[in-house]
Amino acid sequence: MSIDYQERIPNNVNLADDRRLQRALEKWQPGYQQWWAELGPTESASTDVYLRTAVSVDPGGWANYGYVRMPEYRWGIFLSPPEQGRQVNFGAHKGKPAWQEVPGEYRAELRRLIVTQGDTEPASVEQQRHLGLTCPSLYDLRNLFQVNVEEGRHLWAMVYLLHAHFGRDGREEAEAMLERHSGDPDKPRILHAFNEATPDWLSFFMFTFFTDRDGKYQLASLAESGLDPLSRTCRFMLTEEAHHMFVGETGVQRVVQRACELMKEHRTDDVRRYGAIDLPTIQRYLNFHFSVSVDLFGQELSTNAANYFTMGLKGRFRETRIEDDHLLENGTYQVPEIRGDKVVFTEQSALTAVNERLRDDYIRDCQRGVDKWNRTIRDAGIDFELILPHRAFHRGIGTFADIKATPDGRIITEAEWDHHHADWLPTEDDKAHVVSLMKAVTEPGKMASWIAPPAKGINGQPREFEYVRFN
Ligand code: BYC
Ligand code: FE
Ligand code: FE
């Protein structure tokens, strides 16, 4: 399915056939562009960036690479191809044809899910807006901008659903997406992690590894939705998401690699002296970003989530590959709870535990990345291991929100927490050091002192390719 770039809003949904919808979206477009100019990447307006743009939604070969002046990026509406005869695959309507229109009785729930998803997309662009000024290389700057334009497009994806399926309230919600802002005391973004600052590139890499990965799991669950347009939109978004997590995984890996190289070369753990980031600091950043990201999965036991499932709106990760009845009326699932100073797992209704199940899928996926980073450390012959903290550590949502726990999951007193948290979360000193390293490196092929070069360039280009041209 190819994309029509002749239209004012590129799309593969035959927008031209629905004049009302087209006009409504064209009315929203200038507000979006103004938002991008004001709260998108700073000082990017006159740069030419080697970006990929979607030219089709077919698997394989959907991307075209070339220089784009950022504000001229063609944001549009791209849905994955329809699946013939698709059904609702779980919950009370299992076996019925998938819905092409929003079922009236589920309108409020669907709107809420779509708004919550949509709100995160521009939030992340806002969080990352100043990073371009301190890029460690042109390669990384290009990756940042690629992530930013695609998160902008993800907002378009949700705004399309709101405009196409929710009438007037949908249009109001689309406006509100441009009115809430990350960290705004009066009109913050909906989910906590999206109001945190992303002040430096280590935070950016951690964010794209841990928080974009929440995006992967939430989108995958929404891709199972009985509402077919939501499913198709999310399926295409997932293809873009893979690159964001690649940026995070390889970004952290390169910071780790650089620390290890300097540790070996100078026979010291104190690589800060050589303009790098030491492994214990990387661990504390990891602890922070993991813990705020696991919060994004909601409560361990959630009637909201159970309802979304039974209604057929939001499924489990790879729902159709799970071997059970897809109704979850009788199944159970292991859910953590606090007993004294310990965390124990007990059997709970699988239906109310779907958030926790998704969190488990997510944690396993995170661990795979951490294992890769540890391989880099081991290959350098260094005796240090990065560890994913326990899910009870530093939580703001759910069972563990009111207690304090160590990174290995022991429940402790407030006093113990006050005494130790500087060992576990980034300190002012850590942040000051990391920020002190953030100086723009813009000569093609050169890297900042604190990061190793990438294994290879983008789209077969050499590492010293001029990924961004300043005008
Ligand atoms: N912050 O029943 P529960 C991405 C509220 S990232 C604040 O567990 P539910 C991206 C909750 O609203 C993916 N509040 O909630 C990444 C509820 O309030 P009410 C984003 C929270 O609904 C990087 C109450 O607590 N997509 O795409 O099961 C860059 C009870 O909680 C939070 C989505 O999130 C929180 N973290 O689960 C760019 C998908 N957690 O009802 C983009 C859509 C819970 O008592 N969202 N609450 O008033 C959802 O599926 C669900 O809303 C959630 C929450 C999974 C987030
Ligand atoms: Fe996104
Ligand atoms: Fe993303």
Sheet with 48-54, side-by-side order of all strands:
63-69, 48-54, 468-469
Within a domain: 98 = yes
User: How would you label 249-281 residue by residue, b for 16+ Cβ within 10 Å and e otherwise?
Assistant: bbbbbbbbbbbbbbbeeeeeeebbebebbbbeb
User: Half-sphere exposure of residue 251, counting CA atoms within 13 Å on the CB side?
Assistant: 26
Counting ligands in written order, the one closest to the CA of 236 is 2
Q: Which residues surround ligand 2, an ion (CB under 5 A)?
A: 121, 151, 154, 215
- Tell me if 132 is assigned to some domain: yes
Q: How far is the CA of 154 from the centre of ligand 2 (A)?
A: 5
Give me the pLDDT at residue 45, please: 86
Instruction: Kindly state if the Cβ of 151 falls inside 6 Å of ligand 1.
Output: yes
Looking at the CA of residue 303, tell me the nearest atom of ligand 1.
2
116 CB near ligand 1 (under 6 Å): yes
User: Which band of pLDDT confidence, cut at 50, 70 and 90, is reported for residue 7?
Assistant: confident
The pLDDT of residue 62 is 81
Tokens of 62: 């959907």
Alpha carbon nearest to ligand 1 atom 2, residue: 302
Q: Whose CA is nearest to atom 23 of ligand 1?
A: 212
Please give the average per-residue pLDDT across 374-396, as a whole number. Answer: 98
Ligand 1, atom 44, residue with closest C-alpha: 298
* 100 in any annotated domain: yes
Mean per-residue pLDDT over the chain, rounded:
96
In a domain, 160, yes or no: yes
Predicted local confidence at residue 169, as pLDDT: 96
Question: How would you class 69 by CB atoms within 10 Å of its CB: exposed for 0-12, middle for 13-18, buried for 19 or more?
Answer: middle
Which stretches of 318-454 are DSSP H helices? 354-379, 414-424, 428-437
The CATH number linked to 423 is: 1.10.620.20
Number of domains in the chain: 1
Q: Worst-scoring range by mean pLDDT, 62-66, 153-157, 357-361, 453-457? A: 62-66
User: What pLDDT, on a 0 to 100 scale, did the predictor assign at position 4?
Assistant: 80
pLDDT tens track for 165-207: 999 999 999 999 999 999 999 999 999 999 999 999 999 999 9
Residue 5: the pLDDT is 84
pTM (global) more than 0.85 = yes
For ligand 1, is residue 12 a contact (CB within 6 Å)? no
Q: Which residues sit opposite 50 in a β-bridge?
A: 67
Which amino acid is present at 375?
A: R
pLDDT band at 11 (very low <50, low <70, confident <90, very high): very high
Which residue has the CA at smallest separation from atom 47 of ligand 1?
A: 298
The alpha carbon of 193 and the centre of ligand 3 are apart by a number of angstroms equal to: 14
Report CA Rg, the chain. 23
In a domain, 244, yes or no: yes
Ligand 1 pocket check: which of 397, 399, 400 to mutate, most ligand atoms within 8 Å of Cβ? Answer: 397
Whether residue 61 is predicted with pLDDT greater than 80 in this model: the reply is no
Give the lowest-confidence range in 28-42, 61-75, 402-416.
Answer: 61-75
Partnered with residue 51 across adjacent β-strands are 66
Q: What is the pLDDT of residues 144-175, one digit of tens each?
A: 999 999 999 999 999 999 999 999 999 999 99
Residue 4 lies in a domain: no
The residue range of the domain holding 265 is: 15-469
Asked if residue 60 has pLDDT above 80, the reply is no
Q: How far is CA 289 from the centre of its chain?
A: 12
Centre of ligand 3 from the C-alpha of residue 118, in Å: 11
Band of pLDDT at residue 55, cut at 50, 70 and 90: confident
Tell me the per-residue pLDDT of 241-286, one tens digit each, with 9 for 90 and over.
999 999 999 999 999 999 999 999 999 999 999 999 999 999 999 9
Inside any domain, residue 10: no
- Domain assignment present for 3: no
- Which residues does 348 contact at the CB level (< 8 Å), separation at least 6? 300, 301, 332, 333, 334, 335
